[in-house]
Chain A
């Protein structure tokens, strides 16, 4: 038993209970259904902006990209344009690959001590699972997020319909030939999201190294997202919540004339409460890596420091030991050794 994840688990469980009761108690529905979501959005937007502004306010005194490939030097040596970017466009490409493909994480290796005939050998094998799970998690999260836009637009934009079609398509066609699954069709994204989050959680528990570095703040968002996914899946496939009622409610929220939905159970309140907590928690947490990755100086700077000068906005003058001071101390010895000097006496 580990206090770090138990603590986060208990907090998320308590949040679920709290909001379930809130949803069931008519007096509190306004709070949980309308006031808290609005508040969460405000905290998210202002928090996010102020965090990014805070970073942007700090200076970038030196150009310190981590170079992960051959530099551009002599014309006949092939530079690695992406991992040692010499131009702005190369940096943009590097950043896109980082953000869209998690390129650096893709390099991940696992170190292991192996006993061989000639003694211990340290091996470094490619380790792809974290990258796969991370990509699966983030992309399905994105798809789920985009699919939810259907609740905030009327009519539903075409691109979102397409997304839904592909997200649900394979599963329905495939399954309906074998076993009959009643409508609504299963969205793959929700299932993968839950699986990926579960994997990331289990990794934190079972890998001794990752367990040792984990804080409650690492388990909390995982449980929160798990909770969101589980309540969402339950509403869709099991309790079959009234979609039309919910759409009226969300349209009310976006048009600033909120009205509580009729006939939705406590589960819905748990769902939107957990989303609200995630939003409000976002700016003050590690989830801000969403913004930070764009500002990371080891990745977003050109590696051409010897060709184009970078200016440090606070380049303070420093005390130096000048040549004159040096020669004054060693002049005699220099003359004796036949070294040239500025002043001969």
Chain B
């Protein structure tokens, strides 16, 4: 973790939600502070994608090397989006500033910075909208809450629209459903027109465009990494999994975020998938293939622009079509599922070359996915368990006292709440919910979503993750919870440092890692460890031998 990160107590003690600056927000200039922002996009990545204004730049410099006509670009960008998105236009006009959303944002809760109240975040842009697109704003200026676009305003946009994780929690409470995430999405599109992205987004996007995944893993390396898991699994269970790659004519294509192939503890979730697929293959002849071209479920394009999202997402259907599969199964990931659930079919469909998804094992028709033809693995596994198709030994997870984190996107952009809970409770005997108001549709963001999971903005991440961590701390103290389970690859990447910072005794796992532990494979040897090579309950001695 970064050396200059403040201590947890210090960070907590300096938060004050009622201490706004003496000057009005319009008269309070932005202060771009180390630890709170992500590094500028590398020109190489911007160029590779053919996005505008590729050049090296530094947010701390006065000169951001903008095109001469940047104000015109912003104006035209706003205008175009007001016509293309009714959401944007309505949300610009109807906020009554009632403040219901104000204390709902994890970044406001964790920083106390008033510009992190969703309503003020939106006002940063709305004020310019009023100036440029409404008569009252144009005539009355500041009295009507309007201000002209300036370089300082632009910097403020960049700073605060990259302090929003597009989590939509504010939208749940707004009486008009105003979704500040939607406004952030528009603002980031416009910032991208000027080449003002962050590198933690731009480079994964460029990687994904080229190699099929955010991490830039090339096809042979992708296979190597999975083969490595296969070896580990064999050591733990004695079972040899045989994943298939790019297989034409397979029944089902499986796509999951590449983060789970790359780093702990996501890797254990990937091992869980391998075990599940092997089990189903041996028992029911399940025929699933991984793809190296479509080796990314996540979509950082979504954090760049609708267009970039579409460019990356197109690979899913293209690959499904090329391989001739029946339908697509998707792994555990948050924003990936917002994209699939709310955008994919509209952007890149209709997927008329696929079949309506039916589970080959239980015969269940996934009616809810009959057009998009993509099923979430938690839906798929829940259905298997419900039909008693899996032999499970939840006792193997008895060392785990789990709680479940609803990731923002599956919760508020989909509503997948009970499927993962059902699976979790069937593979794990100890489960405790965090307090109401912090779960399900009111869940708190991990604080690092929407591409903000870089290393250099650690203070922002720890502050933004505070509400989530605080709820975990509560169940940790009350019930001894020691595992934060989730269905999101970003969560799995960012929770370990967050927990280490706020609740060091709690570990992080994916759902299918616990499935993998509990699943009784055909012909397996006596298991003594879980997928992390840690002793199973009661097996501590056998390991030592």
Interface flags, A55-81, vs B, CB<8A=1, else 0: 111111111101111111110111110
Q: In whole angstroms, what is the CA distance A74 to B421 when docked?
A: 14
What are the residues of chain A within 8 A of B219 when measuring CB–CB? 330, 333-334, 337, 339
Cβ–Cβ contact B99 & A77, under 8 A: no
| Given contact pairs A64-B179, A303-B415, A306-B374, A74 touches B364 in the complex (Cβ within 8 A) | yes
Q: In whole angstroms, what is the CA distance A86 to B368 when docked?
A: 9
| Given contact pairs A212-B20, A339-B292, A68 touches B412 in the complex (Cβ within 8 A) | yes
Which listed segment binds A: B62-70, B116-124, B231-239, B512-520? B116-124
Q: In whole angstroms, what is the CA distance A67 to B409 when docked?
A: 9
Cβ–Cβ contact A298 & B177, under 8 A: yes
Asked if A118 lies at the interface with its beta carbon under 8 angstroms from chain B, I say yes
Cβ–Cβ contact A288 & B93, under 8 A: yes
Cβ–Cβ contact B177 & A71, under 8 A: no
What are the residues of chain B within 8 A of A215 when measuring CB–CB? 97, 144-145
Cβ–Cβ contact B218 & A330, under 8 A: yes
Closest to B471 in A: A122
Asked if B343 lies at the interface with its beta carbon under 8 angstroms from chain A, I say yes
**CB of B354 to closest CB in A, whole Å:** 12
Q: In whole angstroms, what is the CA distance A293 to B418 when docked?
A: 30
Cβ–Cβ contact A111 & B109, under 8 A: yes
**For window 101-146 of chain A, which residues contact chain B by CB distance below 8 Å?**
102, 104-105, 107-111, 113, 118-122, 124, 130, 134
**CB of A53 to closest CB in B, whole Å:** 12
Cβ–Cβ contact A51 & B145, under 8 A: no
Cβ–Cβ contact A292 & B97, under 8 A: no
What are the residues of chain A within 8 A of B84 when measuring CB–CB? 58-59, 61, 314
Interface flags, B30-54, vs A, CB<8A=1, else 0: 0000000000000000000010000
Q: Which of B18, B97, B413 contacts A213 (CB 8 A)?
A: B97
Cβ–Cβ contact B346 & A322, under 8 A: no
Which one of B218, B219, B293, B322 has the greatest number of beta carbons of chain A within 10 Å? Answer: B219
- Determine the main DSSP class of B at the interface with A: helix
**CB of B175 to closest CB in A, whole Å:** 4
What are the residues of chain A within 8 A of B246 when measuring CB–CB? 339-340
Asked if A29 lies at the interface with its beta carbon under 8 angstroms from chain B, I say no
| Given contact pairs A51-B93, A69-B415, A306-B368, A213 touches B120 in the complex (Cβ within 8 A) | yes
What are the residues of chain A within 8 A of B153 when measuring CB–CB? none
Asked if A299 lies at the interface with its beta carbon under 8 angstroms from chain B, I say yes
What are the residues of chain A within 8 A of B25 when measuring CB–CB? 212-213
Q: In whole angstroms, what is the CA distance A326 to B441 when docked?
A: 39
Interface flags, A185-201, vs B, CB<8A=1, else 0: 00000000000000000
Asked if A178 lies at the interface with its beta carbon under 8 angstroms from chain B, I say no
**CB of A34 to closest CB in B, whole Å:** 26
Q: In whole angstroms, what is the CA distance A210 to B96 when docked?
A: 11
Interface flags, B207-221, vs A, CB<8A=1, else 0: 001111000001110
Q: In whole angstroms, what is the CA distance A74 to B177 when docked?
A: 27
**CB of B327 to closest CB in A, whole Å:** 12
Cβ–Cβ contact B223 & A337, under 8 A: yes
Asked if B90 lies at the interface with its beta carbon under 8 angstroms from chain A, I say yes
What are the residues of chain B within 8 A of A293 when measuring CB–CB? 94, 175-176
Cβ–Cβ contact B311 & A209, under 8 A: no
Asked if B75 lies at the interface with its beta carbon under 8 angstroms from chain A, I say no
Which listed segment binds A: B166-174, B192-200, B268-276? B166-174
| Given contact pairs A334-B220, A339-B219, A284 touches B346 in the complex (Cβ within 8 A) | no
**For window 290-308 of chain A, which residues contact chain B by CB distance below 8 Å?**
292-293, 295-299, 303-308
What are the residues of chain A within 8 A of B319 when measuring CB–CB? 323
| Given contact pairs A55-B89, A64-B182, A336-B220, A213 touches B415 in the complex (Cβ within 8 A) | no
Closest to B477 in A: A118
**CB of A105 to closest CB in B, whole Å:** 4
Closest to B367 in A: A307
What are the residues of chain A within 8 A of B172 when measuring CB–CB? 66, 68, 104, 107
| Given contact pairs A209-B114, A295-B90, A218 touches B372 in the complex (Cβ within 8 A) | no
Q: Which of A292, A312, A327 contacts B346 (CB 8 A)?
A: A312
Asked if B526 lies at the interface with its beta carbon under 8 angstroms from chain A, I say no
**CB of B489 to closest CB in A, whole Å:** 20
Interface flags, A307-345, vs B, CB<8A=1, else 0: 111111011101111110011011001101111100000
Which listed segment binds A: B156-164, B378-386, B453-461, B480-488? B378-386
Which one of B87, B340, B386 has the greatest number of beta carbons of chain A within 10 Å? Answer: B87
What are the residues of chain B within 8 A of A218 when measuring CB–CB? 96-97
| Given contact pairs A67-B411, A108-B173, A306-B341, A318 touches B314 in the complex (Cβ within 8 A) | yes
Cβ–Cβ contact A120 & B292, under 8 A: no
Cβ–Cβ contact B96 & A289, under 8 A: yes
Cβ–Cβ contact A323 & B386, under 8 A: no
What are the residues of chain A within 8 A of B419 when measuring CB–CB? 73-74, 77
Asked if A250 lies at the interface with its beta carbon under 8 angstroms from chain B, I say no
Cβ–Cβ contact A58 & B89, under 8 A: yes
Cβ–Cβ contact B467 & A122, under 8 A: yes
Asked if A216 lies at the interface with its beta carbon under 8 angstroms from chain B, I say yes
Which one of B175, B374, B383 has the greatest number of beta carbons of chain A within 10 Å? Answer: B175
Q: In whole angstroms, what is the CA distance A296 to B95 when docked?
A: 11
What are the residues of chain B within 8 A of A80 when measuring CB–CB? 415
Cβ–Cβ contact A286 & B418, under 8 A: no
Asked if B102 lies at the interface with its beta carbon under 8 angstroms from chain A, I say yes
What are the residues of chain B within 8 A of A182 when measuring CB–CB? none
Q: In whole angstroms, what is the CA distance A208 to B83 when docked?
A: 36
Cβ–Cβ contact B93 & A98, under 8 A: no
What are the residues of chain B within 8 A of A297 when measuring CB–CB? 86-87, 90, 177
Cβ–Cβ contact A67 & B83, under 8 A: no
Asked if A84 lies at the interface with its beta carbon under 8 angstroms from chain B, I say yes
Query: Which residues of B are at the interface with A, using a C-beta cutoff of 8 A?
Result: 12, 15, 17-20, 24-25, 50, 82-91, 93-100, 102-104, 109, 114, 117, 119-120, 123, 134-136, 143-145, 168, 171-179, 182, 209-212, 218-220, 223-224, 245-248, 292-293, 306-307, 310-311, 314-315, 318-319, 322, 340-343, 345-347, 349-350, 364, 366-372, 374, 379, 382-383, 386, 411-419, 422, 435, 437-438, 440-442, 466-467, 470-471, 473-474, 477
13 extra interchain contacts, Cβ-Cβ under 8 A, other than A66-B179, A307-B369? Answer: A55-B93, A59-B83, A60-B85, A68-B172, A77-B422, A104-B174, A113-B15, A120-B470, A208-B18, A215-B144, A217-B144, A295-B90, A315-B347
Task: Across the A-B interface, give the 8 residue pairs with the lowest CB-CB distance, nearest first.
Answer: A292-B94, A71-B415, A337-B220, A67-B415, A298-B177, A124-B437, A299-B177, A58-B86
